[in-house]
Amino acid sequence: MGSQEVLGQAARLASSGLLLQVLFRLITFVLNAFILRFLSKEIVGIVNVRLTLLYSTTIFLAREAFRRACLSGSAQRNWSQTLNLLWLTVPLGVFWSLFLGWIWLQLLEVPDPNVVANYGTGVVLFGVSAVVELLGEPFWVLAQSYMFVKLKVIAESMAVILRSVLTAFLVLWLPHWGLFIFSLAQLFYTAVLVLCYVTYFTKVLRSPELTKQQTLPVSRITDLLPNITRSRTFVNWEEAKLTWSFFKQSFLKQILTEGERYVMTFLNVLNFGDQGVYDIVNNLGSLVARLIFQPIEESFYIFFAKVLEREKDSTLQKQEDIAVAAAVLESLLKLALLVGLTITVFGFAYSQLALDIYGGAMLSSGSGPVLMRSYCLYVLLLAINGVTECFTFAAMSKEEVDRYNFTMLALSSSFLVLSYLLTSWCGSVGFILANCFNMGIRITQSLCFIHHYFQGSAHRPLAGLYLSPVLLGVFALSGGITGISEAFLCCEQGWPTRLGHIIVGAICLGVTLGTVFLTETKLIHFLRTQLGRTRLTDKMI
């Protein structure tokens, strides 16, 4: 498979399901806004911080390293050994679920049962839901490797919407169930997610026409189960060694990803109510990151991993592949920078209004608006880091991954210390400032690797981080105008003036996007080309 064909598949994987995902997210957004009006800040803090941290830690430690190792390289491999390796995530998940569940029940502060009921049941069911989700891991990796475009989006979106609907129904009709509502909804979510993947592959493998069209490496559903034979090794030991390298890195990356939740959970720097407000702002602020940046990162990680060879320098690989990879990386960096900068500039003036619409006075008063404005800056760094690490982890050799682990260790330690100090000094905003600091260091590490990687070639993909002075001026002007508009038109004066503030922002956004269209012609050409390929491929399918 040529690099251009892989690029087309990656672009289709990232973009074709985007509109569908946005639709599903908007439905979930509305349902969550409804649910928030029936909950206390304490319950939100326990569910979204304490229990979600248990679930995400179990999932991340059990599967992240396996995903990165098994998605690297060509799809032409011994899939029986790869699937065997992936099934090891289940017993690993059982171990982490039991170990972490014991910590959550025995070592951490238990909330007052009169305020938050059924805490113990919540811990058990969230741990079980993590193990249930790991049962679908072999199906997920196979689907990603063969770039099944809409399966992942539809499965996750359906599961999220059904979970939100179930939660809203139970909160409205059985509010006395407390945490049992969210625990049951989480278990239902993972069951639906796994069932979607199993149903899809069962349908495909029972249809000879679909099987021939997809050219899958398995012919029946039982081939996806662990397969022990005497004639060959149970797993591919090269993949297993790479998994171990990524596992050490994953443990450290998890601390960086969920570091603020660990500090809140283990050091008790915020009460459960403040934790709830922080987590709502965090989820709302990261909505664009989940909708746009995460699909791009996941899809183009596969692209870079398939096009580039880990153990070879850029000068020793096919120059056509290197040229395509450099061009794609430059365009992705430019796209991430522009989207992140747009969110930062306009987010400052519209944070309070967005929080008031979403959650009412519980969010728009107090520390909520300051948290949201700080998070807008963090989104800019998050966007750039997603693209740079997407390339870096796909191009690094095993030895380079091991060396990078030491950097991650230092970052993890400094993040925890910095989070505690900054939070003690300036409250929950300290978490976001600590995240910005560590994200900046991670970006610097990745930029150094990319610069060194392409140093021997004629390609300079880091040029994607440069913007024209005209465009920078338009961003600065838009930020100033919307800031003045917020001071005079928002947010205590009522909806007529709020609508004026929204109109001012829409005009400034239109001018900004028009300037992008006129000045960033190379990026526009890249997007048009890939979207054109997506539409053509969808018609063929």
Residue 474: pLDDT band (50, 70, 90) is very high
Q: Which residues contact 6 (CB under 8 A, 6 or more apart)?
A: 303, 306, 307
Task: State the total domains in the chain.
Answer: 1
SS3 343: helix
Higher confidence at residue 538 or residue 365? Answer: 365
Note whether 115 and 42 are within 8 A (CB). Answer: yes
| Within-domain flag for 506 | no
DSSP string, 429-494: HHHHHHHHHHHHHHHHHHHHHHHHHTTTSS--GGGGG---HHHHHHHHHHHHHHHHHHHHHSSSS-
Could you give the percent of the chain with pLDDT greater than 90? 31
For residue 299, the model assigns a pLDDT of 75
Highest mean pLDDT among 327-341, 407-421, 484-498: 327-341
Q: Which long-range contacts (CB under 8 A, 24 or more apart) does 363-371 make?
A: 363/277, 363/280, 363/281, 364/491, 366/277, 367/274, 367/277, 367/427, 367/428, 367/429, 368/277, 368/281, 370/429, 371/277, 371/278, 371/281, 371/428, 371/429, 371/432
Residue 32: pLDDT band (50, 70, 90) is confident
DSSP 8-state symbol, 222: G
Side chain identity, residue 514: G
- Name which of 58-62, 176-180, 193-197 the model is least confident about: 176-180
For residue 112, the model assigns a pLDDT of 83
pTM summary value: 0.70
Note whether 457 and 325 are within 8 A (CB). Answer: no
| Within-domain flag for 83 | yes
Residue 211: pLDDT band (50, 70, 90) is low
| Within-domain flag for 519 | no
Taking 70 as the threshold, does the pLDDT of residue 179 lie above it? yes
For residue 334, the model assigns a pLDDT of 94
Taking 90 as the threshold, does the pLDDT of residue 476 lie above it? yes
For residue 388, the model assigns a pLDDT of 92
Taking 60 as the threshold, does the pLDDT of residue 107 lie above it? yes
SS3 238: helix
- Name which of 186-190, 211-215, 323-327 the model is least confident about: 211-215
Taking 80 as the threshold, does the pLDDT of residue 30 lie above it? no
Residue 286: pLDDT band (50, 70, 90) is confident
d(CA 104, CA 133): 20
For residue 309, the model assigns a pLDDT of 79
| Helix %, strand %, coil % of the chain (to 5) | 80, 0, 20
Q: What is the pLDDT of residues 73-93, one digit of tens each?
A: 555 567 888 888 899 999 999
| Within-domain flag for 266 | no
The mean per-residue pLDDT over the stretch 405-422 comes to: 81
For residue 505, the model assigns a pLDDT of 94
Taking 70 as the threshold, does the pLDDT of residue 363 lie above it? yes
The mean per-residue pLDDT over the stretch 302-316 comes to: 77
Residue with tokens 């005497």: 230
Taking 70 as the threshold, does the pLDDT of residue 296 lie above it? yes
d(CA 182, CA 177): 9
| Within-domain flag for 153 | yes
Residue 540: pLDDT band (50, 70, 90) is very low
Range of the domain at 47: 38-257
d(CA 524, CA 517): 7
For residue 541, the model assigns a pLDDT of 37
Residue 105: pLDDT band (50, 70, 90) is very high
Taking 60 as the threshold, does the pLDDT of residue 47 lie above it? yes
d(CA 541, CA 537): 6
Taking 90 as the threshold, does the pLDDT of residue 54 lie above it? yes
Taking 70 as the threshold, does the pLDDT of residue 104 lie above it? yes
For residue 13, the model assigns a pLDDT of 54
Report the candidate in 350, 379, 369, 339 with the shortest Cα–Cα distance to residue 504. 350
Greatest Cα pair distance in the chain = 76
| Within-domain flag for 293 | no
| Within-domain flag for 490 | no
Q: Which residues contact 481 (CB under 8 A, 6 or more apart)?
A: 504, 508
- Name which of 263-277, 442-456, 498-512 the model is least confident about: 263-277
For residue 271, the model assigns a pLDDT of 82
| Within-domain flag for 80 | yes
d(CA 99, CA 474): 53
C-alpha separations of 390 from 243, 298, 351, 516 in Å: 17, 8, 29, 24
The mean per-residue pLDDT over the stretch 330-350 comes to: 92
For residue 537, the model assigns a pLDDT of 40
